[in-house]
Amino acid sequence: MKFFNDSFSKNGFSNGNINDIKDKDIASNIIIKNGTLINTENNSKEKVDILIERGVITRIGSDIDMGASVRQNFLEINATDLFICPGFFDMHVHLREPGNEEEENIKSGIRSALRGGVTALACMPNTKPVLDDPYLIKYIKLAAIANNFNIFPIASMTKNIAGEKIAELGLLKEAGAIAFSDDGHCVQNDKLMYEIMKYATDMDLLLILHEEDYDFSETGLAHEGYYSSFLGLDGISSFSEDLFVARDIMFAKKTDARIHITHVSSKNAVELIRKAKEEGVKVTCDVTPEHMFFNDSCIKDYDTNFKIKPPIRSEEDRKAIIDGIKDGTIDAIASDHAPHLDIEKQVSFKEAAFGSIGLETIFKASFTKLCCEEGVSLEKLVCLISKNPAKILNTNLGSIKENELANISIVDLNLEDTYKKDLIVSKSKNSAFIGINLKGEIIYTISNGRLMYSNK
Closest-CA residue to 157 (of 170, 176, 144):
170
CA distance readout (Å), 47 to 42, 83, 415? 15, 9, 20
301 and 295 in contact (C-beta within 8 Å)? no
Q: Mark residue 18 as left, alpha or beta (left: phi above 0; alpha: psi -120 to 50; beta: remaining).
A: alpha
What b/e sequence results for 149-177 when a residue is b if at least 16 CB atoms lie within 10 Å of its CB, and e otherwise?
bbbbbbbbbbebbebeebbebeebbebbb
Tally of CB atoms within 10 A around 328: 12
Catalytic sites, residue numbers: 336
**CA torsion sign, 210 to 214 to 216 to 218?**
positive
Helix axes 239-255, 190-203, angle to 10 degrees: 40
Terminal-residue alpha carbon distance, the chain: 7
76 and 33 in contact (C-beta within 8 Å)? yes
Residues 6+ away with beta carbon under 8 Å from 359:
90, 93, 109, 112, 113, 115, 116, 118, 121, 335, 337, 426
Closest-CA residue to 381 (of 338, 419, 424, 330):
330
What is the spatial distance between Cα 14 and Cα 36, in angstroms, rounded to a whole number?
27
What is the spatial distance between Cα 333 and Cα 407, in angstroms, rounded to a whole number?
18
